[in-house]
Chains A and B, each alone.
Chain A
Amino acid sequence: MTPLLSVQGVAKRYGAQIGCTDVSFDLYPGEVMGIVGESGSGKSTLLNCMAGHLSPDAGRVIFDTRAEGPRDTLTMSEPERRMLGRTDWAFVHQHARDGLRMGVSAGGNVGERLMAVGARHYGDIRHKALDWLDRVEIDAGRVDDRPTTFSGGMQQRLQIARNLVTGPRLVFMDEPTGGLDVSVQARLLDLLRGLVRDMGLSAIIVTHDLAVVRLLADRLMVMKSGHVVEAGLTDQVLDDPQHAYTQLLVSSVLQV
């Protein structure tokens, strides 16, 4: 089977500082990859390199495109990459404000990606927006309200709906539960797990929270100081960590 995404030898430096280095892995359709590490471990740098927000110094990020099969997204033209960014790829930001248009209604936020790819029937767009609000458990009565009037958890759910409405084949998530209250996190995780399962989503989730990957990720990469120190099936890595750093991470969670 062709990997949906094949990351090969990706490296990014900031001057003399290593952002991330020598990262390689394959993601297959329907798989969720978790990338864990503390802040400064290079996980966000890696995510942004893969999603095209940063250009790495070395490596290839090969995506199995619909039209032309596997292509290195780093050497694509900007229009091609932007097109990918609003069709087959989605990016869920940690801060919903970075991923939403705060001056546009919830329905408009969800509808934007549809309109960006040519939807021109108001009734259809509205119908899909309402359907997606329902799927992320936002009351239909809020469809015309702006996200500024939403709670943090609702904003994040709206961001997810806005990203998934066009049925992307790969979703990047940057700390999707970060900054939310614990009870709100639990509800969001539940929702994400349902969506991942129902839609067969392929996703790459960056987080410092082992509970998030435990629930969502099939496979796991542990990063420290820009390097991948351990990788494997999520349960294996968490139940039987091999690297001293992973053992430290796991034990610190278990002590709580």
Chain B
Amino acid sequence: MTGDSYNFAYLDEQTKRMIRRAILKGLAVPGYQVPFASREMPMPYGWGTGGVQVSAAVLTPEDRFKVIDQGADDTTNAVSIRSFFQRTAGVETTTATEEATVIQTRHRIPEAPLGEGQILVYQVPIPEPLRFLEPRESETRKMHSLEEYGLMHVKLYEDISRHGHIATSYAYPVKVEARYVMDPSPIPKFDNPKLNDCPAIQLFGAGREQRIYALPPYTRVTSLDFEDHPFEATKADHPCGLCGAGDSYLDEVIVDDAGGRMFVCSDTDYCESRQRQSHRGKDAA
């Protein structure tokens, strides 16, 4: 190993091997939270250090890397992570979902279907879905190992009793291969169905909490619900104002000083590629 490759993707090889072992274990036991020794990264916790370490461990010099933050490639966070790996790994980068081999994401799954050979890396703030109601980690670990998941439904029960429906709209809990209950990170529940039967590898990294978990390709992932309150992947009931898409997750944005609003795709790459194909929404210039 040469001195140059030692620092490929910032982390030393030994650390990357340790993280890869955690990833492999996660892939072998889908949905199970694998502890790992999180390293100091040159960015604060809360800025995707878990995702960055996972990306560092899986990137190869041949990869094309994409970073999205809430669906957008151009936020400060996305730009800084992308340039971090450009600098430390010299990998090519892209904003096109189809062209990327590794995609690091915060809070979204891209709209364009993912394929075999792609890796989606999620930044995870809180990996433990049971924590809201059971703060003791010794107890939540036991609940996972014994498959005691009644508490997850207590959370949904509380939602319905308070709001009349399951109001949880982000980080909506899922069950993996009918075994582990998993927090999919704060993606909108609109994205939950994309977790299921996905041809890409999905990796989840929580830096502060030092946990990695994973979904191998084509894993069965179901969203928890009640028989009389079934799961619904909801979104704003509008087409995108710019590209007219009716099937994408939308952000509501303020467009002028007069408080004018419009709904646009949160996935900027999806929206722009549709516009390049001459799709137009009602608010398009």
A residues near B, CB below 8 A? 78-79, 82, 86, 101, 103-105, 107-108, 111-113, 115-117, 119-123, 125-126, 143-144
Add 12 more A-B contacts to A116-B148, A116-B150 (CB < 8 A): A86-B148, A108-B154, A108-B158, A111-B154, A111-B157, A112-B154, A115-B150, A121-B226, A121-B227, A122-B226, A122-B228, A144-B161
Q: Kindly name the residue among B148, B151, B153, B160 whose own CB sees the greatest number of chain A CB atoms within 10 A.
A: B153
Min C-beta distance of A112 to chain B, whole Å: 5
B:97-118 near A, CB below 8 Å: none
B162 close to A82 (CB less than 8 A): no
Given contacts A108-B161, A111-B154, A143-B161, contact A79 B228 (CB under 8 A): no
Write 21 A-B pairs (CB below 8 A) sorted by A numbering: A78-B146, A79-B146, A82-B146, A86-B148, A104-B133, A105-B158, A107-B161, A108-B161, A116-B148, A116-B150, A120-B153, A121-B226, A121-B227, A122-B157, A122-B160, A122-B226, A123-B228, A125-B157, A126-B161, A144-B161, A144-B162
Inter-chain CA distance A82–B158, complex, in Å, is 24
Cβ proximity bits B137-160 to A, threshold 8 Å, 1 near / 0 not: 000000000101011011001101
The SS class assigned to the B binding surface is helix
By a CB distance below 8 angstroms, the chain A residues around B151 are 112, 115-116
In order of increasing CB-CB distance, the 6 nearest A-B pairs are: A116-B150, A115-B150, A115-B153, A122-B226, A121-B227, A79-B146
Residues of B in contact, count (CB < 8 Å): 16
By a CB distance below 8 angstroms, the chain A residues around B39 are none
By a CB distance below 8 angstroms, the chain B residues around A107 are 157, 161
By a CB distance below 8 angstroms, the chain B residues around A122 are 157, 160, 226-229
Cβ proximity bits B156-172 to A, threshold 8 Å, 1 near / 0 not: 01101110000000000
